[in-house]
């Protein structure tokens, strides 16, 4: 399977490529398709936005393309679930990751880390589409807390502010393979891998690589 990731975020693509490894033939993203204009994310949920991105990209690329979209973000309990679907634009349209982290730290000032008060989670919804149809949805989430200050240089977005459950370092400090093994994106992709293993898709040589009968919705749980 040649996979087109319906994203302009090179960090997401790099994580997806690394997590899927040789389970797919190749992975490209929208940087290879400058003809596709910016997609408006008008959905109210991660899944709605992931559907919009997958189907618009599919329409532009035509029937044969396998599309995987990723809509993701951070929900902070003390902020009523914000920034949520607005994570990429938290401090305004065209905001940088650094701007968004500054705003988050400002909003969290005075929330002092009593039990659960800085609790948060990353969420990810991925949609697989082909031929104009949504084929499957894969979701993942990861609980954690918001650090008091930025720590570490790894990753992107809110990584240097997010301490995953069970750890004392942020994703900015932890090695990428540790993040990928537990992240919201990693968990959604584990479900995609399960789905993939149950398909009867032709491989690079045109031969079938059928593994077994698909169990209904096993990857959706």
Q: For residues 150 and 214, which CB has a smaller minimum distance to ligand ITT in the complex?
A: 150
Q: For residues 13 and 219, which CB has a smaller minimum distance to ligand ITT in the complex?
A: 13
Q: For residues 184 and 212, which CB has a smaller minimum distance to ligand ITT in the complex?
A: 184
Catalytic position from the list 22, 63, 70, 71: 71
Shortest reach from residue 208's CB to ligand ITT, in Å: 32
Q: For residues 158 and 219, which CB has a smaller minimum distance to ligand ITT in the complex?
A: 158
Nearest-10 crossing angle of helices 184-197, 10-20 = 50
Shortest reach from residue 3's CB to ligand ITT, in Å: 14
* Nearest by Cα to 22 from 178, 203, 199, 155: 203
CA 126 from centroid of its chain's CA atoms: 7
Shortest reach from residue 136's CB to ligand ITT, in Å: 18
Which residues of the shown chain bind ligand ITT in the complex (CB under 6 A)?
7-9, 12, 41, 70-74, 87-88, 97, 100, 122, 155-159, 183, 185
How many C-beta atoms lie closer than 10 Å to residue 5's C-beta?
27
Burial call 122-156: b when 16+ CB within 10 Å, e when fewer: bbbbbbbbbeeebeebbbbbbebbbbeebbeebbe
Shortest reach from residue 78's CB to ligand ITT, in Å: 18
Sheet containing 119-130, strands listed edge to edge, beginning at the edge strand earlier in sequence: 26-29, 2-5, 66-76, 119-130, 133-146, 162-164
Confirm whether 159 is a catalytic residue.
Answer: no
User: Which residues are catalytic, by number?
Assistant: 71
């Amino acid at each position: 399977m040649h996979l087109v990731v319906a994203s302009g975020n090179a960090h997401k693509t790099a994580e997806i490529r690394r997590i899927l490894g040789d389970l797919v033939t190749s992975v490209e993203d929208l940087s290879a398709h400058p003809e596709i204009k910016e997609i408006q994310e008008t959905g109210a949920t991660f899944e709605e936005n992931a559907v919009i991105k997958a189907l618009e990209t599919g329409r532009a690329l035509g029937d044969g393309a396998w599309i995987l979209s990723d809509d993701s973000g951070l929900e902070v309990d003390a902020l009523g679930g914000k920034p949520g679907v607005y994570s990429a634009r938290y401090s305004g349209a065209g905001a940088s990751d650094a701007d968004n982290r500054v705003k988050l730290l400002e909003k969290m000032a005075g929330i002092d880390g009593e039990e659960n008060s800085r609790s948060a989670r990353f969420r990810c919804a991925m949609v697989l589409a082909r031929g104009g149809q949504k084929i499957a949805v894969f979701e993942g989430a990861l609980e954690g807390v918001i650090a008091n200050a930025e720590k570490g240089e790894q990753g992107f977005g809110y990584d240097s502010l997010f301490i995953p459950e069970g750890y004392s370092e942020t994703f900015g400090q932890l090695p990428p393979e540790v993040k990928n093994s537990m992240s919201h994106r990693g968990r959604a992709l584990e479900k995609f891998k399960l789905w993939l293993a149950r398909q009867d898709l032709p491989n690079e040589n045109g031969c079938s690589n059928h593994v077994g009968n698909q169990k209904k919705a096993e990857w959706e749980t």
